[in-house]
Amino acid sequence: MSSKLFRQNKIKEILQRHQVDSQDELVHLLKSEGIEITQATLSRDFSDLGVIRVRTEEGSRYVISQQESGSQVSRLIRYEVLNVASNENVIVVRTLAGRAQGVGHFFDRLNKPEILGTIAGDDTILIIPTSINHIPGLVKFFHSLMDEGEESGKA
């Protein structure tokens, strides 16, 4: 696991376990976990993860916005996915080198009932549908994600 992925996973873990109300507090909590991080890197991680600050009854806190996180990642799909192909049994997605795991993780987080599971290598993702009947719809869906990214890039 890359250090960035490890750090971002740790940020998600901390935000789920603790009510964090400042970036300084999160930097301190990460340091206690053995992770040194600058404010600039934390801000980039917040953007990547879709971390937002919300008001709760207990006060302000940082949370991961599923909507914001998904929209940030879906914009990257256009750039990271090179090709989507299928046969009678599975779907294969080709990505830029080193990006298959991140894209595969995004696909997993979509929680689509038509997807039984994904296996990601360095630049290839194997998507196993729950039924071969779902393959055409999933391929169309993945192409639409790529087209959405293209359209938002033109705006």
DSSP code string of 89-116 = S-EEEEESTT-HHHHHHHHHHT--TTEE
Rounded to an integer, what distance in angstroms lies between the CA atom of residue 44 and that of residue 14? 17
Mean confidence (pLDDT) of the chain: 84
Q: What does the pLDDT read at residue 132?
A: 96
Taking only the tens place, the pLDDT of each residue in 7-16 is 988 998 899 8
- Cα-based distances in Å from 90 to 80, 104, 118: 20, 14, 10
Q: Which residue in 93, 82, 77 sits closest to 153, CA to CA? A: 77
We find that the CATH architecture of domain 3-64 is Orthogonal Bundle (1.10)
Mean pLDDT of all residues in 109-135: 93
pTM score above 0.85: no
The residues of the chain that CATH labels 3.30.1360.40 are: 76-154
The residues of the chain that CATH labels 1.10.10.10 are: 3-64
Rounded to an integer, what distance in angstroms lies between the CA atom of residue 94 and that of residue 113? 22
Mean pLDDT of all residues in 136-153: 75
57 burial via Cβ count (<10 Å: 0-12, 13-18, 19+):
exposed
Q: What does the pLDDT read at residue 149?
A: 45
Q: Specify the fold of 76-154.
A: Gyrase A; domain 2 (3.30.1360)
